[in-house]
Structure 1
Amino acid sequence: MSLPVLGTLDSLPALDRPDLLAEPVAAALAGWAPAERVAVVEIDPDLADTAALTEAYDLPLRASANCVVVSGRRDGEERVAACVVRADTRADVNNLVKRTLDVRKASFLPMERAVDETGMEYGGITPVGLPERWRLFVDASVLDLDVAVVGSGVRRSKLLLPGRDLGDLPRAEVLTGLGI
């Protein structure tokens, strides 16, 4: 099976390079059937942010999928979700996410807390290997990407995989209109 390729990035089988993955990402890939279709690409960590990455590596912005973490409360219970949307959109936090989490107000989880709870680096948080108690929302348009670029858990690499596979991640809930 051939690995996904995009722009000027050199693809390697993700499972062959655990040194380019955060621990929870490597563990999640090891137990996930579609992992054979997941590539990892080493990048300059200073270019991990989407805009810099797309320019430096000749990638279409539409191919990148960002993962943001949102939380809210209902009846004293915190509810957390990671939201995956194409980079040319933003997550509909104030409407769809808030309604789907069934909270009065949804806001972005503080960066320090997201990093601590995921075991991933800021700028590398990915939907692969998230904490089990978190929900995972994936925008339906992400599934249409032939190759999606997502974080690897660290800033020095990215994962490339078929967009449809993001909808097959454990606990993934595919939502139409998540990315606006």
Structure 2
Amino acid sequence: MTSPGLPYLPALTHLDLLARPVAETLRGWPHGERVEVLSIDPAVSDTAALVEATGMALEDCANCVVVGGRRAGEERVAACVVLATTRADVNTTVRGLLDVRKASFLAMEDAVERTGMEYGAITPVGLPAAWPVYVDARVLEREHVVIGAGVRAAKLRVPGPLMAELPGVEIVEGLAR
């Protein structure tokens, strides 16, 4: 369980802590009132540093990566959300879901520009509507998951089962190893 002593705040009343696309999505999402935000030092935004600095459980953290590939000249991009204790299976599972010959992580500059979020803080909340968001089924089993807030100075805490309700989400068994 995520460390209960951390000062989580209702995200909808602290939208100033979030990237613009994240705030816009939460305002329009029926479950937005159940999402919390934690203000952090941007220097501890990376998962390992966050866990060390706060004492939260690594198992309660999730990472979001943006992956792309091409098929017949058409670019296909998706986001993948996996628990921090695992890694997205990009070479097999994600490649198959995207139906591309080769899938790879989007370049940092490209991911930042397309999402409107900071690198290292990209979150499934507020991504471009055309992108599928693949979520590993194990994410839904967590009471809460801590994910990016679109900016390195904050993290979101979302009830695990509600991750399935985010726009564009497709739950994938075995998305991560």
Query: What band does the TM-score fall into relative to the shorter chain?
Result: over 0.9
Instruction: Measure the CA separation in 1 of the matches of 2:6 and 2:62.
Output: 16
Q: Deviations over 1:89-146 (max 9, x none)?
A: 0000000000011000000000111000100001110000001121100000000010
Instruction: Measure the CA separation in 1 of the matches of 2:17 and 2:2.
Output: 17
Within the alignment, does 1:25 sit opposite 2:22 as a pair? yes
The percentage of counterpart residues that share the same residue type is 58
Instruction: Measure the CA separation in 1 of the matches of 2:139 and 2:2.
Output: 17
Which residue pairs with 1:162 in the alignment? 159
Give the conservation status (yes or no) of the 8 Å contact 1:6–1:147.
no
Within the alignment, does 1:125 sit opposite 2:122 as a pair? yes
Within the alignment, does 1:141 sit opposite 2:134 as a pair? no
Give, as a single letter, the amino acid of the residue that structure 1 aligns with 2:45. A
Which residue pairs with 2:104 in the alignment? 107
Q: Which runs of 5+ in 2 are unaligned?
A: none
Give, as a single letter, the amino acid of the residue that structure 1 aligns with 2:75. E
Which residue pairs with 1:88 in the alignment? 85
Within the alignment, does 1:150 sit opposite 2:150 as a pair? no
Give the conservation status (yes or no) of the 8 Å contact 1:145–1:164.
yes
Number of equivalenced pairs: 177
Give, as a single letter, the amino acid of the residue that structure 2 aligns with 1:73. R
Which residue pairs with 1:98 in the alignment? 95
Runs of 4+ in 1 over 2 A off after TM superposition: 4-8
Cα deviation, residue 19, structure 1: 1.1
SS at match of 2:165: coil
User: Normalising to structure 2: TM-score of the pair?
Assistant: 0.97
Give the conservation status (yes or no) of the 8 Å contact 1:135–1:172.
yes
Instruction: Measure the CA separation in 1 of the matches of 2:4 and 2:105.
Output: 31
Give, as a single letter, the amino acid of the residue that structure 1 aligns with 2:20. E
Within the alignment, does 1:35 sit opposite 2:61 as a pair? no
SS at match of 2:25: helix
CA RMSD of aligned residues (A): 1.1
Cα deviation, residue 7, structure 1: 4.6
Give, as a single letter, the amino acid of the residue that structure 2 aligns with 1:166. M
